[in-house]
Structure 1
Amino acid sequence: MKLSTKGRYGLRAMVDLAETSEEGPVSIQTIAKRQDLSDKYLEQLLGMLKKAGLVKSVRGTQGGYQIVGDMAQISVGDILRALEGDLTLVDCAGLEKDGACKTAKFCVTKYVWKKIHENLEDTVDHITLKELVEQSKSIQAGTWEEE
């Protein structure tokens, strides 16, 4: 699976927002500058994240965007699905309940796609925004070690 810029940039923006969550709302321009992203593109991404209920916008001179809810309850999967949609790698009719695939009962490859999908979902659903913020702080402090 190859994520589009929506998923990659949107995840970066969410980590940026999460890192500065105690400071209040953050403007699109501030995030865009720190993350070296286009203001217009970031506005689209934040709109998608807002629609998914992951961020909220605050109007006014001190306005901007904020994370909604507990960062420990927001997974990378939540963010990627809001931006990318379904994370399925392959459209395989053999995995659908309606049995639309004529070769499903003889096809071994459907198990490959199913296993990859399950592992991908498990991975992105178990990495939280809070964990990413903690890792980012470790990187900035020079104490993070890659596993």
Structure 2
Amino acid sequence: MKISTKGRYGMTIMIELAKNHGEGPVSLKSIAQTHNLSEHYLEQLVAPLRNAGFVRSIRGAYGGYVLTNEPSKVTAGDIIRVLEGPIVLVEGIEDEAPAQRELWVRIRDSIKAVLDNTTIEDLANHREDTGISDANMFYI
């Protein structure tokens, strides 16, 4: 399974909306500028998210998009399935030998578990940890 830019940038949209949840609409233009992405491409991606009921648009000078649910209620798996389709690791799995089929199923189930147990709230609240603390820094 390969996640395309549809899934990646769609996740970016949803994370940005989650970060601003309850603070009003967020424009696609601002998301595009922040992440150096094409606004036109984001407009194409937000349509299926809106059709699936994850976001709604607000018109006007200060319009944009907002989440329709709490960020804790929307999983990465929900978004990936809307934008990428079903989570399938290997096509024609039924034709595989039993041992191989079991391997592919276990890998698929592991991927599904991670996606379905990670909310956009988790992703929005994530802070990048460089792994370097001042306690371990030596200054000359």
TM-score (norm. length: structure 2):
0.86
Q: Which residue of 1 aligns with 2:75?
A: 75
1:125 aligned partner: 116
Identity rate, percent: 38
Q: 1:29 — aligned with what?
A: 29
Q: Find the residue that maps to 1:66 and give its secondary structure.
A: strand
Provide structure 1 residue ranges, at least 5 long, that are not aligned to the other structure. 95-100
SS in 2 for 1:49: helix
Partner amino acid for 2:66?
A: Q
Aligned-pair distance for 1:18?
1.1
Q: Tell me if the contact between 1:13 and 1:35 (Cα under 8 Å) persists in the aligned partners.
A: no
3-state SS in 1 of match to 2:101? helix
Q: Which residue of structure 1 lines up, in the alignment, with residue 138 of structure 2?
A: none
Alignment check: 8 A CA contact 2:21 2:71 kept: no
Question: What one-letter code is carried by the residue in structure 2 that aligns with 1:30?
Answer: S
Partner of 2:137: none
Runs of 4+ aligned residues of structure 1 deviating over 4 Å after TM superposition are none
Deviates more, 1:37-46 or 1:59-68: 59-68
Query: What is the SS of the residue equivalent to 2:98?
Result: coil
2:134 aligned residue: none
Asked if 1:87 is matched to 2:87, the reply is yes
* CA deviations over 1:81-107 (Å, ceiling 9, x no partner): 11101111111251xxxxxx4xx6x53
How many residues of Structure 1 are paired with residues of Structure 2 in the alignment?
131
**Secondary structure of the structure 2 residue equivalent to 1:37:** coil
Aligned CA RMSD, in angstroms, stands at: 1.6
Tell me the residue number matched to 1:63. 63
Alpha carbons 1:32, 1:39 under 8 Å: kept: yes
Q: Does 1:115 align with 2:106?
A: yes
Answer 1 or 2: higher relative contact order, Cα 8 Å, separation at least 6: 2
Post-superposition offset of 1:21: 2.0
